[in-house]
């Protein structure tokens, strides 16, 4: 199941394309773009925490292009590297934590919308988003591509910006609350889907004869992947 259809993703990539070409001509390093994008996400989280929900949504929506530009520029300028992919993934976790943490601060400090249950939901969503990334990374370390699940990073970034930009605290904040609950639930569903995927891939079927490996040969899920190139649209 895909929350964002392919035509939206492809259209977004076409919009980003000329910007990426300009950055390549200017010889902007991909890691610089990654750092700027993370700084924008942290700023958006601070804006969320201050209670300016609609402003934060617009800010995160307009600066989300950095989330795609770093990988695109890296490939087109032949500057892709293992460290760049590692840095990109690490700072993505910081960005997710800042945005969801900012929403948690909003529900903890807002006079009108203070809600302990929603603070708990934000914390659960934060843990779920981290586990979504960790389960895929751990699967890749075992030689498996666990890019499965209902909620990928592009969908999460979109749901944390676009609805807030247009609706803000509409219906006394219920729109925002529903989106956060939806993000949290789908994050945990994705975690379970990836755990189930790895289980199926690594558990031999009872009706099949176990494969025997020769001397020095290792099972596919025990082979470490050497590189982790940045994808077109970053998934988790």
Question: In which residue ranges of the chain is pLDDT below 50?
Answer: none
Per-residue model confidence (pLDDT) at position 141: 86
Per-residue model confidence (pLDDT) at position 95: 92
Per-residue model confidence (pLDDT) at position 74: 87
Question: What span, in angstroms and rounded, lies between the C-alpha atoms of 136 and 93?
Answer: 13
Give the domain ranges of the chain: 6-205+214-222
Per-residue model confidence (pLDDT) at position 101: 94
Question: What span, in angstroms and rounded, lies between the C-alpha atoms of 199 and 202?
Answer: 5
Which CATH number fits the domain 6-205+214-222, given the four candidates 3.30.450.20, 3.30.420.40, 1.20.120.1760, 3.60.20.10? 1.20.120.1760
Q: What is the pTM of this model?
A: 0.79
Per-residue model confidence (pLDDT) at position 89: 87
Give the torsion through C-alpha atoms of 200, 202, 206, 210, to 10 deg.
Answer: 150
């Amino acid at each position: 199941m895909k929350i964002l259809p392919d035509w939206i993703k492809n259209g977004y990539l076409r919009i980003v394309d000329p910007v990426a070409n300009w950055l390549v001509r200017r010889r902007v390093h991909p890691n610089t773009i990654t750092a700027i994008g993370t700084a924008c996400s942290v700023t958006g989280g601070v804006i969320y925490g201050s209670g300016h929900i609609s402003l934060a949504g617009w800010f995160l929506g307009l600066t989300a292009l950095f989330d795609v530009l770093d990988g695109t520029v890296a490939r087109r300028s032949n500057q892709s590297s293992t460290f760049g992919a590692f840095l990109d993934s690490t700072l993505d976790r910081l960005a997710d934590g800042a945005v969801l943490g900012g929403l948690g601060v909003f529900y903890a400090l807002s006079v009108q919308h203070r809600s302990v249950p929603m603070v708990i939901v934000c914390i659960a969503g934060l843990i779920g988003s981290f586990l979504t990334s960790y389960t895929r990374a751990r699967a890749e370390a075992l030689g498996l591509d666990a890019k499965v699940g209902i909620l990928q990073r592009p969908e999460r970034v979109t749901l944390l910006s676009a609805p807030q930009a247009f609706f803000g605290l509409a219906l006394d904040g219920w729109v925002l609350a529903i989106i956060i609950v939806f993000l949290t639930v789908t994050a945990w569903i994705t975690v379970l889907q990836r755990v189930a995927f790895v289980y199926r891939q690594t558990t031999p079927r009872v009706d099949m004869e176990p494969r025997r490996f020769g001397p020095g040969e290792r099972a596919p899920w025990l082979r470490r992947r050497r590189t982790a190139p940045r994808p077109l649209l970053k998934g988790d």
